[in-house]
Chains A and B, each alone.
Chain A
C-alpha cells in the first residue's frame, strides 16, 4: 500500500490552492477528485471551449495556471468510499478499489445544495440553480424560460448568465427583503469588483423587465408527469402569483460535508445550522494531521477556499515536521490577515444566505422528503414518535436516507423537521452516520481490489 505524506481530497479552489502551496513547500502529495477535470463546482469544466468570458474569473485562471505544474499528482474520476483506522482510505475509480495510506489529509471535498422539500419539488423540470448553471457552463444547454427562486445571490448571477445566452427569466423569487439586499450592498462598498458584478446582473434584470419578488418563495410546483406551473407565496403564506412554467431553478444555499472527516474521527459541530468539522484557525480538525478546507468544511465561497487551502498546506508541512512552529506562524500571518478581511465580507454575504424558517415548513404531509426512497412527511411524523429525537433512529424506522444518495439531498431538511416535531435542538438530533461505501460501488468493482498486495 502506498503511503503519501499528504493526500488532498478535492480539486476545487480549496484543493488546488492546497496543492499549489504544498508543492511550493516541497511536499509530495496525491490529489484526488471524482470529476474528470479539475475545478470543483464553481470552476467546473467540460471539454467544451467557452468562446466568451462569462464564466472566467481571474481566480480560475490563476488556479488553473498553477495546477498545470502538478497534474501528475492528480487522480481524477476517483472517489473515496471509506476512511479506516491507521489513516487508510479506500478509493474507487471504475477499475476496482485500492487502498492508500496518508500521513496527513486535507479534505476539500466541497458542498452540495441544500435540499428544501416543498410540494411538487420532485417533478421533472424542477432542478437546483447549481444544476442549471453547471449545464450552462459545461454544455451550453439551458432552459428557454425559467423561474428562478431561492435565497441569495446565486439566482441573480444565474439569471444574468441565462439571459446572456438567450434564455428568458420569467421571475426571480427571493426569500430575503430588499432592505437586506441594499444593506448588504452598502456593506460591500469596499468590494468594488463584487458590487460591479451584482450591479451588472441587476441591470440585466431591469433591462429585460424580469419581475422580482422579495420576501417570497415558491410554495408549490404542479404538473402531471413534469412541471407545468408554480405558485409564489409570501413568507407569511399568502399566494402572490401563479406562473405557468416547465422549468424551475431552486437555490437555497449549500451544505458542507462531514462524511470523510467524521469517519476519520474528527468532531463535528453546527455552523449556521449545518454540520461540519470543528476546526482551529490553522484549519486542523480535532484529529492531528487532518485538515478541512473550503465549502466542504464551512460555506464561505471560492476566495476563502483558496486561502484556507494554503493555510492547511502550511499546517501539513508543520505537522510533517518539515518546518518548525515559528516558521509556520510567519508564513501563515499574511494568510490569516486575508482571511480576516474575507470573513468581514462573508458576514454580509451570509446574511443574504440566511434561510427563513418558513422554508422548512413548506412540505405538506404528502410531500416526498426523501427523494430516493419516496418517504413523505407523513411517514416521518409517524416514525418520529419512536425515534427518541435521534436522526439515525428515524432513519432506521422510516428508511429516510437509505437510498442511493444516502441522505445528502434530504439530510438537512430531515434534521430540521425532526427538530420541529420533537422540540429537540439540532445538536441532539445529530446527522446520518456515515458508513462506507460513501458512493454506490458495484460488487464487481469491489471484487477487483488490491487487498492481497496490501
Chain B
C-alpha cells in the first residue's frame, strides 16, 4: 500500500464499507472517495480522455479532473471532491471514453 491512514493526530469518523471495482473496502466518515481509494491501495483511478494512459489523483482540490471515477453508475465524478458514503459502488474507469448511454 502506497498510502496509509494516520494512527495519531486525527479523530476518524465511523467506518463503513464501499466497493471498489466490486471489492469491499473500509472507509470512514469524513473521507473522500479519493482518500478511501488511495488508502485501499487503488492508485490508478481511470484513464485519460483520448489515449488510454492511466490517471490517478493529482491536484486533490478538484481542479485537474484526473481523478474521475464512476460512482453508483454515474460516470465522470471527481473522486477527490466526493465524500465517501456507506454502500457506494465505485468503478475505476476502464474505457477511455465515458458512456452515458445507460444512465
Contact = CB atoms under 8 A, between A and B. Distances in A.
* A/B: CB atoms within 8 Å of each other: yes
Interface of A: 34, 41, 46-52, 54, 112-113, 115, 122-128, 130-132, 134-136, 138-144, 164-166, 225-227, 246-247, 368, 371-374, 403-405, 408-409, 440
Contacts of B13: 47-48
25 contacts: A49-B11, A113-B63, A122-B66, A127-B59, A128-B58, A130-B60, A134-B60, A134-B61, A135-B35, A136-B6, A139-B5, A140-B5, A141-B6, A143-B2, A144-B4, A165-B6, A166-B4, A225-B54, A246-B43, A374-B50, A374-B53, A403-B65, A404-B68, A409-B58, A440-B76
Contacts of B8: 51-52, 165-166
Interface of chain A: mostly helix, strand, loop or mixed:
loop
Nearest to A245: B2
A394 to B, nearest CB: 18
Contact of A141 (B31, B44, B49, B63): B31
Contacts of B80: 131
Contact of B58 (A34, A41, A127, A226): A127
Interface of B: 1-13, 29-32, 34-35, 38-39, 43-45, 48-51, 53-66, 68, 76, 80
B29 to A, nearest CB: 7
Contact of A368 (B34, B39, B53): B53
Nearest to B65: A404
Contact of B35 (A49, A115, A141): A141
Contacts of B3: 135, 141-144, 247
A173 to B, nearest CB: 18
Contacts of B56: 123-125, 127, 226
A274 B2 CA distance: 34
A98 B10 CA distance: 38
A132 B56 CA distance: 13
Contact of B44 (A112, A124, A131, A409): A124
A-B pairs with lowest CB-CB distance, top 7: A124-B56, A131-B60, A140-B10, A404-B65, A140-B6, A48-B30, A374-B51
B34 A371 contact: no
Contacts of B31: 139, 141
A164 B10 CA distance: 12
Given A130-B61, A372-B65, A405-B63, A225 B9 contact: no
A135 B10 contact: no
Contact of B9 (A115, A164, A246): A164
B4 A141 contact: yes
Contacts of A50: 9-11
A333 B39 CA distance: 50
B53 to A, nearest CB: 6
Given A34-B62, A124-B45, A373-B49, A139 B9 contact: no
Given A141-B39, A142-B3, 14 more contacts: A48-B10, A51-B9, A122-B53, A124-B57, A125-B43, A125-B56, A131-B60, A135-B60, A141-B3, A371-B48, A372-B49, A403-B49, A403-B65, A404-B68
Nearest to A404: B65
B59 A130 contact: yes
